[in-house]
Amino acid sequence: MDKSAILAEVTEIISDVLDQPDLILGLDTTAEDVEGWDSFNHINIVVACEGKFGVKINTAEIEELRNVGELVELIEKKTLARAAR
């Protein structure tokens, strides 16, 4: 799965969690840019991504995430590592 496919999937997940069907996200979008993306929904977004991509995101990694692009990269890295196993 390449970055743009992951971004599309992540956008879908985030728009489902926030219940905003027409959400458009870029790699540099941050939580502050999006209405309703609070700490409660942030947890749900991470858990939903874990479930969707079959990966586990660690506490330290979550704390370092700054924007959608970094989340996409992290997921890409983890799915590639899993595929290599």
Partner 1 sequence: MRTVDMYWLPRLSAERDELRQLARAEAVTWNELVKVANTQLDFVQINRVDKLLQKHFAAEQLDDKSVKTLRVAILSSSTADHLVPGLRVAGLRRNFRVQTFLGDYGQYIQELQAPESALFHFKPNVLLFSFHAQHLLGANDPALSFDDASAQSEAIADKISQVWRLARQRFSGQIIQQTILPVYTRLMGSNEHRLPGSAAAIVDGVNARLRPLAIAEGVDLLSIDNMVARDGLFAWHDPGLWHRAKQEISPAATPAYGDFAVRLMAAQQGRSAKCLVLDLDNTLWGGVIGDDGLEGIRLGQGSAIGEAFVSFQQYARDLSRRGIILAVCSKNDTANAQSPFDSHPDMVLKQTDIACFIANWEDKPSNIRRIAEHLNIGIDSLVFVDDNPFERNVVRRELPMVAVPELPEEPALYAQCVADAGYFEGLQVTSDDFERGGQYRANAARESLRASHTDLASYLKSLNMELRWAPFDKIGQQRIVQLINKTNQFNLTTRRYTEKEVVTTMENPKALTLQLRLIDQFGDNGIIGIVIALPDSSDLRIDTWLMSCRVLGRQVEEATMNLVVAEAQRLGAEKLIGEFLPTKKNGMVREHYKKLGFACAAASEDGATRWLLPLENFKPFDTFISIIRSSTRG
Size of the site for partner 1 (CB under 8 A): 18
Which range touches partner 1 (CB under 8 A), out of 3-11, 14-22, 25-33, 67-75? 14-22
CB 67 within 8 A of CB 30: yes
Provide long-range contacts, Cβ within 8 A and 24+ apart, for 74-78: 75/6, 75/10, 75/49, 76/1, 76/2, 76/3, 76/6, 78/53
CB of 1 or CB of 40, closer to partner 1? 40
Which range touches partner 1 (CB under 8 A), out of 2-10, 23-31, 41-49, 74-82? 41-49
Judged by CB under 8 A, the residue of 1, 5, 47, 80 near partner 1 is 47
